[in-house]
Amino acid sequence: MSGPVSVGMTVVVPCYNEADNVEHAYREIVTALSGHDLEVLFVDDGSSDGTLACLKDLARTDPRVQYLSFTRNFGFEAAFSAGYRYASRPWILHIDADVQFPVAEAHKLIAAAEQGRDAVFGVRETRYDPLVRRAGARAYHFVARRVLGIEIPPGATTFRLVRTELARAIVDLRLGTPYFLATVPRLTNRYSTVPVAHRARERGASKLNLRWLVGHAMGLFVGFSNRMATVASVLALLAAGLAGLTAVGAGTGLLGSTVVTVALLYVLLTVLCVLAVSVRYLVAVGASQARPALFYIREATIPVDPTDRLMVENVGVPS
């Protein structure tokens, strides 16, 4: 199979309210990767600022630039999924609009991919993010890999180079709990990680908050491992046994009121924990049922599947 050097890349750049960043990202991409056959595909995730206007300006002046614009904000997974689905080159390089990973670091990913890999993930040598995000990332990687046995490339990030064929296959699975990093090892063992530089965001604010990170982690935990559901089932059985013994003890007078109260509180706590896991599991299962598409596109400079379009206006670059 040919590597990205010989067959070209689509650089996918998801954007949500990144008007201050898109032109800087574009300049850095075309400068650092000028020697490659490039398509630069921006995905506007329903921005409410001037992001789309900036993308239109870039598309007017550079034929390598294309964009997709959603009908509303659908979220990070939807944005990169759309980019992966409509990439035209055999390889996809994912770069976030804030360019916290210097684009020049992509040459490290490219060199690894040329060794016969299907996917190469950047791993931060030093992370310049808020403490909550750094701690949260370490915690969910530890829980996912060590506790729940989910295979994830160690330390992998969204800064990645993936064969388009593989990326599109993952997107087209339409998983109820999409998690790209955990899905790649299920399809191929030809992936690797390389250390790359990282820097603090220079413009704009991060769109990821604690609620999103927790929800994302829980989706991974219940969607890619049965261990939490198994533990919940065992706890439920233990709680039922404890409740039965407490009832017998109370009925026969062997247990005092204080002991009965404490035992019942333990049972209640266990039941609540089991319910929390069960509800989250049902949410994951329900997400796999019939539902609207992951995203809908309003405007695009490239042809898109009619099923992905909604209220299409002014398709193409305005004159």
- 27-81 tens-digit pLDDT: 999 999 998 999 999 999 999 999 999 999 999 999 999 999 999 999 888 999 9
pLDDT of residue 203: 77
Question: What does pTM read for this prediction?
Answer: 0.76
pLDDT of residue 202: 79
* pLDDT bracket for residue 279 (50, 70, 90): low
Cα–Cα distance measured from residue 250 to residue 125, given in angstroms and rounded to the nearest whole number: 59
Q: Percentage of residues in the chain with pLDDT exceeding 70?
A: 68
Could you tell me which residue, 34 or 137, shows the higher pLDDT? 34
* pLDDT bracket for residue 318 (50, 70, 90): very low
Note the Cα 16 to chain centre separation in Å.
15
What is the average pLDDT across 150-175?
90
What is the average pLDDT across 2-9?
80
pLDDT of residue 210: 61
Query: Any idea which of 58-72, 80-94, 129-143, 264-278 has the lowest mean pLDDT?
Result: 264-278
pLDDT of residue 253: 65
Per-residue pLDDT at 217 exceeds 90: no
Report the SS3 class of residue 107.
Answer: helix
What is the average pLDDT across 143-156?
82
Structure tokens at 266: 């333990």
What is the average pLDDT across 276-297?
65
168: left (phi over 0), alpha (psi -120 to 50) or beta: alpha
Provide the strand spans (E) within 30-85. Answer: 38-44, 65-70
pLDDT of residue 244: 65
What is the average pLDDT across 114-138?
82
pLDDT of residue 3: 76
CA contacts within 13 A on the Cβ side of 85:
22
Per-residue pLDDT at 159 exceeds 80: yes
pLDDT of residue 92: 97
Cα–Cα distance measured from residue 5 to residue 114, given in angstroms and rounded to the nearest whole number: 8
Long-range contacts of 18-22 (CB under 8 A, 24+ apart): 18/47, 18/49, 18/51, 18/97, 18/98, 18/204, 19/47, 19/49, 19/50, 19/51, 19/53, 19/54, 20/203, 20/204, 21/97, 21/98, 21/99, 21/203, 21/204, 22/51, 22/54, 22/55, 22/58, 22/97
pLDDT of residue 317: 47
pLDDT of residue 148: 79
pLDDT of residue 315: 46
What is the average pLDDT across 113-138?
83
pLDDT of residue 286: 53
Cα–Cα distance measured from residue 235 to residue 195, given in angstroms and rounded to the nearest whole number: 41
Could you tell me which residue, 116 or 271, shows the higher pLDDT? 116
Whole-angstrom Cα Rg for the chain: 24
